[in-house]
Amino acid sequence: MYAFDYHKPTSLRQAASMLAKAEDAKILAGGHTLLPTMKQRLAAPSSLIDLGALAELQGIERKGRSVVVGAMTTHAAVASSDVVREAIPGLAEMAEMIGDPAVRTRGTIGGSVANNDPAADYPAACLALAATITTNKRKIEADDFFRGMFDTALEEGEIITKVSFPVPAKAAYAKFRNPASRYALAGVFVAKRGSEIRVAVTGAGADGVFRWTAAEEALKTRFSAKSLAGMAADASMMNSDIHADAEYRAHLVGVMARRAVEAATTR
């Protein structure tokens, strides 16, 4: 790890001004992506702005028809939240599937969404649930936020403050883990809200999280795993690496989508 200056602002405004002032500064949330990357010297920020003291970025609340999760809320807090368990059980289950207990104690929703790892779980949940990502500057719809692997609509110095999830009628996540890393080889989040059906896929696509529109169409006729019988994603759009080739990932996407719909319809 290269040397850096460390700052722990006590308000969002102070964090934003520190971020704007320091050249090459980076936000530190749970640090469970950033610190490993810095150890490998793949990132070498001159300063870290730790959001750990900002109470305003913590917490989960039900606001009308949405569940609002503060950016610094940990995966463990989402997994064990009564509010989330009641309104969107599929989201709590997804958070419970991230990494291991110690990772869930530190990792945050804001860090996961900002990082947009092509195998991370939250991007699929945000896209399927049509979440809105709020920053210190604006609100961004999930459809516009995720822009291919490790790329988002966030601008320099922009800080995610919260993520709002409209409460769906039915939703669930199914994940096939890479047994070594525990990230998704293929993860599918399905959600139904009114007549809108959204199917988001992580881990499998060659360019990060995406909506599987063919499956969404098929589910419009009937929201049942049977509607997806025999379907697989388009292998030419899938990632291929030592863990799984594109054909296998395309197949897994179909299997995970059916499992997710099954779970969503049998609650």
Ligand X SMILES: Cc1cc2nc3c(=O)[nH]c(=O)nc-3n(C[C@H](O)[C@H](O)[C@H](O)COP(=O)(O)OP(=O)(O)OC[C@H]3O[C@@H](n4cnc5c(N)ncnc54)[C@H](O)[C@@H]3O)c2cc1C
Supply the minimum distance, in Å, between the C-beta of residue 205 and ligand X: 15
Single-letter residue type at 138 = R
Supply the minimum distance, in Å, between the C-beta of residue 159 and another protein: 18
Q: What DSSP state is assigned to residue 56?
A: G
The residues that bridge with 146 in the sheet, in sequence order, are: 152
Q: Which is nearer to ligand X, 123 or 227 (CB)?
A: 123
CA proximity to 27, closest of 53, 45, 1, 3: 45
Q: Which is nearer to another protein, 3 or 221 (CB)?
A: 3
**Cα distance between residue 32 and residue 15, in whole Å:** 20
**Token pair for residue 120?**
């991370």
Candidates 11-19, 102-110, 143-151, 204-212 — which segment interacts with another protein by CB under 8 A? 102-110
Instruction: Find the binder of another protein among 10, 11, 21, 39 (CB under 8 A).
Output: 39
Interaction of residue 76 with another protein, rule CB under 8 A: yes
The residues that bridge with 173 in the sheet, in sequence order, are: 189
User: Quick one: what does residue 26 bind among ligand X, another protein, none, with the CB cut-off 5 to 8 Å set by partner type?
Assistant: ligand X
CA proximity to 191, closest of 72, 71, 87: 87
**Cα distance between residue 98 and residue 109, in whole Å:** 11
SS3 state of residue 198: strand
Q: Which residues bind to ligand X, rule: CB under 6 A?
A: 26-34, 36, 51, 71, 98-99, 103, 107-108, 110-112, 114-115, 117, 120-122, 154, 159-160, 182-183
Residues that bind another protein (CB under 8 A): 1-6, 8, 28, 31-32, 35-36, 39, 48, 50, 52, 76, 99-103, 105-106, 182
